[in-house]
Amino acid sequence: MKVTVDGRTIEVPTGTSAIDAVFAAGLDVPYFCSQPYLSPIGACRMCLVEAGSPRKGPDGTLILDEKTGQPKIFWFPKPQASCTLMASEGMVIVSQSASVKKAQAGMMEFTLINHPLDCPTCDKGGACELQDRAYEYGYGDSRFEFDRRHADKHYNLSENVVLDQERCIHCKRCVRYFEEVPGEEVLDFIERGSYTFIDSAEEGLPSNFSGNITDICPVGALLDNVSRFRGRNWEYDHTATVCTACSVGCSITVDARNGQLERIQGRENYQVNQTWLCDGGRFGHTWLRHERITTPMIREGGTRAGAWVPATWDEAIRLIRGKLGEISSKNIGLYSHADITLEEGLALERFAAQLGTDSVDHAPRYSSASTLVPPTLLEVSQADFVLVLGADVHEEAPVLALRLEEMLKGGLLPARYEHGTAIADLRMPERVVRQRHKLVVFSSKSNLLHGKAGLAAEISGASALHDLLAGSAAFADIFKSLEAAQKPIVILGAEVACLGRAVLQEAETLVQKYNAKLLVLPAASNSSGLSHLQLVPRGKGSSLQAMQVGAALVSRLEQVPADFAGFLMVHDTHLTEAATRADVFLPAVSSYEKRGTFINLEGRALTLRGAAIDAGESVDLMGVIGALGDALNLKPEIRGVRSAQREFQKRLNIDLSSLPDEGQIINWSGTSSAATFSAATSSVHSSVTTMWKPNMLRGKNVVPQQARELFVGGDD
């Protein structure tokens, strides 16, 4: 389809909106209400352009201009909002004329009539769409001489989101967001005209995804209360990295100031999180700064009863050398949390092999992993039938719930152009009727997904799976749907996945029978990557539950077995329960400070980049392994991210140091995979399935009390 924008004729696909045609032509139009992942509604009227198109006469041919002989352009009588105007064949759009500029500047003047212009005190200042567009397109002056609207400037919508009613320009992004993305209508416009304000009928914002409205608000009306007044936008060090709070791996921007993590914002990744984040990932970062320990510590007097005293790394290594000298290297256990990077996992694997120890483990993990290729998140959003067994998706992998909501809406994704995701995709309507019959949920406890499913029951996922395989007559409708579906997907949650190989085998049989794809929600954020490394215990008593070793390194795990009496080295950010029983404390960096690679639930490799956070003398797991090697006079094979990535280049034939921004699905076939965990080690770790992960609850006042009750206490 050919469209002419300000004299440039360009080719755009059918269905393109006029605003995208203008951007595709390399020109710019101001807009506030459009958002790539929301339906365009033309609320702000900022994107005015002049447009006209040829018209056909009664004989079916284009009406021609008498003078030029070209098709005559019939212009709209007034400038049109380009976000709600569909481009058509031969359309002529004028976006840069004087009359368009005047219309846009006039609109800007209207928008600013009731805006308080308190940019110096506004947290949005410097990253504000209204500020930028007013500078680029406004008159720079107002003819409005009367009193502005005055409203509540500090209105807490919830503990995490604060609303300034004066600043709102009624673009309706937040209202549409709640209806369209999480499917939870918690905000709406109240009153009319200049008295309009947004509010919710409930206390707070009862949604797991409320923080996203602070990202999409084009002005400073909805702001992140956690980072309120912590810094101006130009003062932050922005780091584009990946959230490791759960296995989805949302792209985030970590904003730090003065070496302290202050704010997390969503970053666009079309394949994974679009631009959305869950509240746990967005607001749950404050645990890091409370009572963090950033120097090694040893015990006073050398006994466990002694008080902690800060030490240098040299002192800690000397102490470790003395203790480990008495122990055979086979008798040393290495245990880590399963949210370490792939590079750290490889270093751990190689170091365990060097020591010759069987006692290496990561937790939480399931005793067995599926070898089937999981569906991608885009495939989930475009599936035509999804069966969820024993999963609380909103807690285990929150953003996956948004993809399921998208699936219920029909799996319509915004188009992508050279200038990015479509600013206004006119195929996306408001208030889509959800195709609830496409979702079936079975889990032993009712959860948020139950309310969205066509069929949901509070029965255990494993028994439902068993009955499904047995062909129980009660599930006749499900069999019919599974058979009719072209792209069915089965999602297994913690409740089922922790039951071991036999149940997993049943699930694999089920999906193979219906040609479905199986998505097993990983136990921890990087489980799907670590399951391909030899990080499982191989002998009796070598698992984390038994820990029958003379000395153990425990990295960021909260607990060790009560009867463990050996030499304990704890590598963590805070003094956890395990750390209170340790002999040496080694400070750890958080995932926000690491460099490396992270594998999400769909097997996508995503790059972690270290934010500018002051972590003192903290090191990652590779650093601790280096220190242990120093103490044992061993030179670890993997000593840094680069040597690990060289090894992965050999194993996977993939360069992890230059992954694309959207990540890359890794093909593990042909590698020596540890996915087939041995039956001897089939001990199951309890998987924590809350959106607010335990470390987020570590610090004081870390999570607002209300959220704590909503997400954690609510279960019991």
Partner 1 sequence: MGVMEIAKGMGITLSKLFQKPVTICYPEQPAQLKARFRGRHVLTRHPGTGLEKCIGCSLCAAACPAYAIYVEAAENDPKSPHSPGERYASVYEINMLRCIFCGMCEEACPTGAIVLGNEFELADYRYGDFVYGKEDMMVGTQGSKLQRREARTSGKPVVMGFEVSVREELEGVKYAPDRRVSDGESNRASNPANPESAGRKA
Interacting residues with partner 1 (CB under 8 A): 118, 120-121, 125, 153-154, 228-232, 234-235
Q: State the nearest-atom distance from the C-beta of 154 to partner 1, in Å.
A: 6
**What is the closest distance, in whole angstroms, from the C-beta atom of residue 421 to partner 1 in the complex?**
31
- 209 vs 273: CA distance, rounded Å: 12
Looking at the Cβ atoms of 232 and 330, the one nearer to partner 1 is 232
CB nearer to partner 1: pick between 222 and 578: 222
Q: Nearer Cβ to partner 1, position 228 or 290? A: 228
Beta strands in 318-425 (DSSP E): 332-337, 360-363, 385-389, 416-417, 420-421
Task: Report the nearest approach of partner 1 to the CB of residue 212 (Å).
Answer: 23
Q: How far is the CB of 119 from partner 1 (least distance, A)?
A: 8
- For residue 548, give both structure tokens: 């029958």
What contacts 209, CB < 8 A, 6 or more positions away?
A: 181, 182, 184, 276, 277, 278, 279, 398, 402
Q: Cα angle at 237 between 234 and 240, to 5 degrees? A: 115
Q: How far is the CB of 428 from partner 1 (least distance, A)?
A: 36
DSSP-derived secondary structure letter, 385 = E
| Token code pair at residue 522 | 């990983």
The distance of closest approach from Cβ of residue 561 to partner 1 in the complex, given in angstroms and rounded to an integer, is: 45
Nearer to partner 1, 96 or 233 (CB): 233
For residue 428, which of 248, 179, 92, 76 has the smallest C-alpha distance? 179
Q: How far apart are CA 320 and CA 187, in angstroms?
A: 57
Q: 310 — phi, psi (to 5°)?
A: -65, 145
CB of 166 to partner 1, least distance (A): 11
Minimum CB distance to partner 1 smaller for 118 or for 430: 118
Which residue, 74 or 135, is less far from partner 1 as judged by CB?
Answer: 135
Q: Given the complex with partner 1, which of 155 and 313 has the nearer CB atom?
A: 155
User: Among 555, 609, 631, which Cα is nearest to 348's?
Assistant: 555
**CB of residue 706 to partner 1, shortest distance in Å:** 19
Query: Which is nearer to partner 1, 120 or 140 (by Cβ)?
Result: 120
By C-beta, is 117 or 659 nearer to partner 1? 117
The Cα 639–Cα 645 span in angstroms is: 11
Pairing of strands 188-190, 197-199: antiparallel
> Smallest distance, Å, CB 121 to partner 1?
4
d(CA 283, CA 230) in angstroms, rounded, equals: 14
C-alpha distances in Å from residue 328, one per residue of 234, 331, 333, 547, 623: 54, 5, 11, 15, 22
Q: Which of 261, 589 has the CB closer to partner 1?
A: 261
C-alpha dihedral sign at 694, 608, 401, 523: negative
SS3 annotation, 627-647: HHHHHHCCCCCCCCHHHHHHH
Q: Select 177 or 236, whichever has its Cβ closest to partner 1.
A: 236
Q: Which is nearer to partner 1, 146 or 229 (CB)?
A: 229
Q: Which is nearer to partner 1, 161 or 423 (CB)?
A: 161
Q: Dihedral through CA 247, CA 253, CA 259, CA 262, nearest 10?
A: -90
Closest alpha carbon to 262 in 240, 299, 302, 233: 233
CB of 139: closest distance to partner 1 in angstroms?
A: 20
Work out how close the CB of 33 gets to partner 1 at its nearest, in angstroms, rounded to a whole number: 27
Which phi and psi (to 5°) does residue 5 adopt? -115, 115
Nearer to partner 1, 164 or 495 (CB): 164
Smallest distance from the beta carbon of 283 to partner 1, in angstroms? 17
| Pairing of the two strands 297-299 and 596-599 | unpaired
> What contacts 24+ positions apart, CB below 8 Å, involve 250-255?
250/276, 250/277, 250/278, 250/281, 250/399, 251/606, 251/661, 252/277, 252/281, 254/592, 254/611, 254/613, 255/227, 255/231, 255/611
- Residues 688 and 524: their CA atoms lie apart, in Å, by 8
User: Closer CB to partner 1, residue 235 or residue 291?
Assistant: 235
606 and 600 in contact (C-beta within 8 Å)?
yes
- State the nearest-atom distance from the C-beta of 125 to partner 1, in Å: 7
We find the least distance from the C-beta atom of residue 211 to partner 1, in angstroms, to be 19
Shortest Cβ 118–partner 1 spacing (Å)? 7
In which element (H, E) is residue 50 found? strand 48-54
Closest to partner 1 by CB, 230 or 238: 230
CA-atom Rg of the chain in angstroms = 28
Q: Residue 553 — φ and ψ, nearest 5°?
A: -100, 125
CB of 260 to partner 1, least distance (A): 11
State the chain's maximal CA–CA distance in angstroms. 101
Q: 713 exposed, middle or buried (CB, 10 Å; 0-12, 13-18, 19+)? A: exposed
Work out how close the CB of 167 gets to partner 1 at its nearest, in angstroms, rounded to a whole number.
12
DSSP 572-633: ESS--HHHHT-SEEEEB--GGG--EEEE-TTSEEEEE---S---TT-B-HHHHHHHHHHHHT
Nearer to partner 1, 260 or 673 (CB): 260
User: Is 387 in contact with 488 (CB distance < 8 Å)?
Assistant: yes
